[in-house]
Structure 1
Amino acid sequence: MTPESTKRFFVTLRDANPYPASELEYSSVFELLAAVLLSAQATDVSVNKVTRRLFPVANTPSRIVALGVAGLEHHIRTIGLYRNKAKHLYETSQILLAQHGGQVPHSREALEALPGVGRKTANVVLNVAWGEPTCAVDTHLFRVGNRTGLAPGKTPYAVEMQLLRRIPPEFRVDAHHWLILHGRYVCQARKPRCWECAVADCCDFQPKTPAP
């Protein structure tokens, strides 16, 4: 994808959705962190169903610790890997209380030191909570980056670095949201909906036509 087509790609996405946002439901930075931690290998829809039950009961580090691992498991048992996620969220809450005054730290290093928080989760929190120009490469961004020619790479980190180099500065804060929504609803894994794609003419990917 050329610089000209890359800019046209993001102008088109911006014009269609000027104020993109995460589809996870949250009302604080801690709720955001918890929701993203729970979202590994799970859909936002399934995580939102879980957090609608969990957050009214426990939506701060101290309340999560008071709930305990068993209590967490009870509230989140409908999502995959719930036992590991309960353990990580409990341990993360303990660390936030012991080392950060109960607040979510505003640094990549401190975020990635939390149990269950990797680079992708840290990028989401940094971008959504504080507006930093990061790109959290999940399965959707990895696919879109490679398929379109926007940011080809063999690993999520390689795709992330390509995105940060190639996305024009004025689009970097919102690019993560546009790309994940595009991958989730249009540039889908098995059957990309190229006939509905507003940016198909910007991509290196050969557009597909709908099945008869």
Structure 2
Amino acid sequence: MKINEYGVFDVKTDRRVAGESEEEIYQILNLPFIPPELREDRGEIKAAQENKLPQLIEYSQIKGDLHLHTKWSDGAHTIRQMAEEAKKMGYKYIAITDHSQSLKFAGGLTEERLREQIEEIRKLNQELDDFTVLSGIEVDIKSDGSLDFSDEILSKLDVVIAAIHSGFKQESKIITERLVGAMQNRFVSIIAHPTGRLIGYRESYQVD
């Protein structure tokens, strides 16, 4: 057999014997289906042959989303709409993490607006049954390494996501120090898009 982008072919007759679906290709190769997430040339074929592929998390196992933007910044829906839709999806919680004030082009929240949002979330949680909306922010890691908000306001949030949105061309040492500094902040929970890469649009920044 030979395999190319068009399918699996019989070498003698050049007839395609599989290729309508990925599952069909694995079947004719006598292999269990290997999910795309595991196709990294790191021993997954041998693991499949030995029936030792790891079990991936299913959508039904996901109970919440900790990085969501709303109409408060550059999102398209209200906090209530996001919560209602998340409940329909079977989620138990979401975190509202709009952009912080440095990202003016994305409608980043000032400290005053963030405090208003925290209060809106508090009131909404009083109305919701068996569902929790966590207050949060996607706080900018500025070019000098400082965070866009003080620890005083960050301490009032349930979830703090830190992310780099500027200074992408800084040298590796500086970029790395910015990320490490954010991780060392006791109020930071998550680092968002840690490479800065946008496929087909922007290469990764140089981080060690």
Q: TM-score w.r.t. structure 1 length?
A: 0.26
State the structure with bigger RCO (CA 8 A, min sep 6), 1 or 2: 1
In our comparison, the structure showing a higher alpha carbon Rg is 2
Q: TM-score w.r.t. structure 2 length?
A: 0.26
Normalized per residue, the structure richer in helix is 1
Normalized per residue, the structure richer in strand is 2
